[in-house]
Chain A
Amino acid sequence: MPESPQTPPALETRNVNKWFGANHANRDVSLAVPKGTIHGVVGENGAGKSTIMSIVYGYLPADSGAILVDGRPVAVRSPRDALAAGIGMVHQHFMLVDPFTVLENVLLGAEGGVTLAAGMARARAELARLARDYGLEVDLDRPVGDLPVGAQQRVEILKALYRGAEILILDEPTGVLTPQEADHLFRILRALREQGKTIVIITHKLREIMELTDNVTVMRRGQVVANLATAGTSREELAELMVGRKVLLRVEKAPARPGAPVLEAAGLCVRDGAGVERVKGVGLTVRAGEIVGIAGVSGNGQSELLEALAGMRPLAGGSVRLRGEELADRPARFTARGLRALGVGHVPEDRQRVGLVTGFEAQECAILGHQGDPAFNGRFLMDRSALFDRCAAEMDAYDIRPRDPRLPAANFSGGNQQKIVLAREIERNPDLLLVGQPTRGVDIGAIEFIHRRLVALRDQGKAILLVSVELDEIRALSDRILVMFDGRLVGELGPEEADERRLGLMMAGVVDAA
């Protein structure tokens, strides 16, 4: 509960500056988080929100400025210092040892003594209390690797609390959660607030900010552009503050006019690298001129389905027809190379590890998958100027910045990297575009652009199969929504009947909801 104004804020930064070379990543960042509140920090990628929190948690040294905890300046030079000051952090990517049990993970680095037994007993009692107080139930004796993602995140929270954190920083905590898991997390965070803990949550999901936080700090280009009470603002206002201009949060599109089937799959089975069947008999049809969305919690076989359809994984069974032509029994054509030649474009889910070679120049990435195209090749040598021109033209058309085809792909922001991939795949004018997580980690401004491009491609009469874990995205773009759970399609909905609750339940495998 917010306390009287005389109480110093639990966490305060004063005029923090941070340079990365010539880049002013944090410019006089001042924000105050009152004790016992949930505070949101929003901003686009590169706005500096992760930088300021890394400074608070001791990962990065500030070039100038001060950090105050409960009104007292603290010198935070390492995460150890931060923990000593009562600051804990839950990372986007969990820092857990998978084969260790929950108890062992919590104890790691805080064993307290030569033998483990005493520390174990103490930790077990303490954790039982924490679990009871805050609804943080997890089975202490199970290996962390066996737990669902939501439970792993609770282990991270337990770790921080066990170390005496009074201030908890969460970096993009809901990115990997189902809506139900996210709700559970929010209940926990509210319970923590009731007990007087202070919570800072970094996110780009404005809905969560509105639902959860008491106050919100908006950052843009390294600066704080607004400190607001959540109750007094709106999603639209926050989006505008983040981007610096008005943003359309919905996608404008006309009703689809589906044509002939482009992709028809039946009884598809796909195994992962370990031989486990991840897609168990999926059948679907995508017609020209429509976007079919596959919703589902990540890890339910969507990734394997998409990769199999793109020729990156062998089929373990089933049939695939492209424009009526059976492909599954023609292994020579059912490859990544062969499918591309047949007019299948693929925007992979993980652009950094699959869609791009981050060490390559942008212009080299712009031909990935098309390196054999005669347009870029002479008899022996590649035509570097054709390559450069092609990439420069795509950069203009897609507003990719910086507009330097020779810059390594790693030096572009997430949104611009994604645009490099999209430009490459869309500009080849595919009949069928397979798209995975098109806007994961992408700025709001770029999301708007990417969504418009996909709808425009649909309106040209192309077929699009979209896989996304972002329900908002699925609902905004899809003309039909398929829900995938445990390797099977468990239902189909129209976008108007797919509300959050219904989709969420189906994604959790409760099929009756359909």
Chain B
Amino acid sequence: MAQEAAQGVAQDVVGRGFGRPGDVPGWVGYALLPLLNLLAALVLSGLVILVIGENPLAVLTLLVTEAVGYPEAVGYTLYYTTGYIFTGLAVAIAFHCGLFNIGGEGQAYLGGLGAGLVGLALTGWPWPVAALAAVALSGLFGAVWAAIPGWLQAKRGSHIVITTIMFNFIAASVMTYLLVDVLIRPGSQSPETREFDPGVWLPTMDRALGWFGVAIPASPLNLSFLWALACCALFYLFLWRTRWGYEIRTVGRNERAAVYAGISPSRNIILAMAISGALAGFVGVNEIMGVQHRILLNFTGGVGFVGIAVALMGRNHPVGIVLAALLFGVLAQGGGQVSFEYPTVNRELVMVIQGLVILFAGALENLFKPQVEALFRRRRGGPQAEGRA
């Protein structure tokens, strides 16, 4: 109540010809605060590592070295980053339409099915054809899987958070059924398809760069990384430079204003969810066409959920999402290696560290905001502003 009144007053005072007097520089919000949050998460993680009897600095050094310390590690890190960019963008576009898409996991899973069906069907075709078809079909599968909850939200008012969570479970069950009963390699014990024809595999980055005479160590990093970066650019252009993006953002920010402007909220909700699902579905290209070369159970491994944290930390902007995806790529790759080296720092503990980063970057993103802003006000306000006012 007090806050509301104070805000009202601030609103009242702002805009008397001074632009944004109360604001602090933009880089504080985009860079300083996320870094502070990251630092806080690392300090707390260090304490946890200390408690279990390891040296936090040594663990952290190992984590960073194993993530970015040598070319092969960088390849692995960027491979993880690729998936996080897709799901981060997926969460972000839904968010710009005022929707919280928790279903990235299921949409990515279904996208993998789409990519895998292409891989199974196109034996003998050149890989560029397979790659394009995989992008199209994985996007389509993901889009449909997300558009159904979108339709339910737009037309029936079923809450998108609930339905997308349920669709994750449905996706998991559908995939298990398909892999166990339908797509399984005949005579095999494990629920997975046959391996695709190597000719349709999406080339890894080391192979692709090899064509140009650049030699880098082998890693799962593949061409879908470039597609992820392209998606970031397209995401930006679509959302901020086209009228369709304008309409989606209007619905997300102010649904009544959208109705006033003749923009259909339900159409845009379904559209935004479809695009969101397609972006998440591209994870399937990275994992299935680029790395696994067959469809298997649970290949997504939580990438859809990490996407939520990536979008939150990246402020739903493609540049921020790339940076946040990099961070989580480092944590995934470095953390995995740490648990090899230190038996006490097991996989669960690495997840604790990731969780702390998500907690500070996502849930507590404004933890340090009042203090930092007050600091800037004190520095910029006061005497020298007198002349201006």
Contact = CB atoms under 8 A, between A and B. Distances in A.
Contact of A381 (B21, B241, B382): B241
A91 B15 contact: no
B237 interface: yes
B161 to A, nearest CB: 22
A22 B18 contact: yes
A119 B21 CA distance: 47
Interface in B335-389: 377, 380-382, 385-386, 388-389
Interface stretch (A43-51, A159-167, A291-299, A456-464): A43-51
Contact of A22 (B21, B249, B256): B21
A46 B257 contact: no
A336 B15 contact: no
Nearest to B23: A21
A312 B17 CA distance: 34
Interface stretch (B2-10, B47-55, B278-286): B2-10
A372 B18 CA distance: 32
Interface residues of A, number: 62
B261 A23 contact: no
A393 to B, nearest CB: 20
Interface string B220-251: 00000000000000000100011100110110
Interface stretch (A33-41, A281-289, A409-417): A409-417
A249 B389 CA distance: 29
A402 B17 contact: yes
Nearest to A53: B9
Contacts of A364: 246
A21 B22 contact: yes
A353 interface: yes
A154 interface: no
Interface string A471-487: 00000000000000000
Interface stretch (A316-324, A355-363, A445-453): A355-363
Residue from A19, A23, A355, A381 whose CB has the most chain B CB atoms within 10 Å: A23
Contact of A21 (B2, B6, B253, B381): B381
A372 B386 contact: no
A368 B246 CA distance: 9
Interface in B1-38: 1-2, 5-6, 8-23
Residue from B13, B18, B250, B377 whose CB has the most chain A CB atoms within 10 Å: B13
Interface string A305-340: 000001110000000000000000000000111101
B2 A354 contact: no
Nearest to A311: B262
Nearest to B384: A22
Interface string A225-244: 00000000000000000000
Given A22-B21, A22-B385, A336-B262, A357 B250 contact: yes
Contacts of B249: 357, 360
A368 B21 contact: no
B260 interface: yes
B18 A402 contact: yes
Given A368-B250, A369-B262, A23 B2 contact: no
B5 A21 contact: no
Contact of B13 (A51, A354, A380): A51
B254 interface: yes
B43 interface: no
B15 A46 contact: yes
A181 B257 CA distance: 32
Contact of B5 (A91, A353, A402): A91
A442 to B, nearest CB: 13
Contacts of B22: 20-21, 23
B23 A60 contact: no
Contacts of B250: 357, 360, 368, 371
B129 interface: no
Contacts of B17: 401-402
Contacts of B11: 410
B259 interface: yes
Contact of A19 (B12, B20, B382): B382
Nearest to A364: B246
A140 B185 CA distance: 76
Interface in B28-76: none
A350 B257 CA distance: 10
A22 B381 contact: yes
A90 B234 CA distance: 51
A358 to B, nearest CB: 7
Given A59-B6, A368-B257, A368-B260, A20 B242 contact: no
B21 A23 contact: yes
Interface in B71-93: none
- Prevailing SS type, chain A contact patch: loop
Given A355-B260, A368-B257, A20 B13 contact: yes
B254 A353 contact: yes
A413 B242 CA distance: 28
Contacts of A401: 17
A324 to B, nearest CB: 23
B152 to A, nearest CB: 20
A25 B17 CA distance: 13
Contacts of A24: 385-386, 389
Contacts of A78: 2
Contacts of B260: 310, 312, 336, 346, 348, 354-355, 368-369
A509 interface: no
B12 A46 contact: yes
B5 A59 contact: yes
Contacts of A371: 243, 246-247, 250, 261, 263
A123 B263 CA distance: 51
B242 A381 contact: yes
A206 interface: no
A420 B254 CA distance: 17
Contact of A413 (B8, B15, B20): B15
A372 B243 contact: yes
Interface in A349-404: 350, 353-360, 364, 368-369, 371-372, 376-377, 380-382, 384, 401-402, 404
A362 to B, nearest CB: 11
A234 to B, nearest CB: 27
Contact of A384 (B5, B241, B247, B380): B241
Interface in A109-134: none
Contacts of A369: 260-262
A426 interface: no
Contacts of A348: 260
Contacts of A335: 262
B262 A337 contact: yes
A353 B23 CA distance: 23
Contacts of B385: 19, 21-24
A221 interface: yes
B253 A357 contact: yes
Contacts of B386: 24
Contacts of B242: 380-382
Contacts of A338: 262
A46 B254 CA distance: 25
B9 A359 contact: no
- 4 closest pairs, A vs B, by CB? A337-B262, A336-B262, A22-B385, A21-B21
12 contacts: A19-B377, A21-B20, A25-B9, A27-B389, A46-B15, A51-B9, A59-B5, A357-B250, A381-B241, A382-B242, A402-B17, A411-B19
Given A336-B261, A410-B11, 16 more contacts: A20-B14, A22-B385, A23-B13, A45-B12, A355-B260, A357-B254, A359-B253, A360-B250, A368-B257, A369-B261, A371-B243, A371-B247, A371-B250, A377-B243, A402-B18, A404-B19
Interface of B: 1-2, 5-6, 8-23, 237, 241-243, 246-247, 249-250, 253-254, 256-257, 259-263, 377, 380-382, 385-386, 388-389
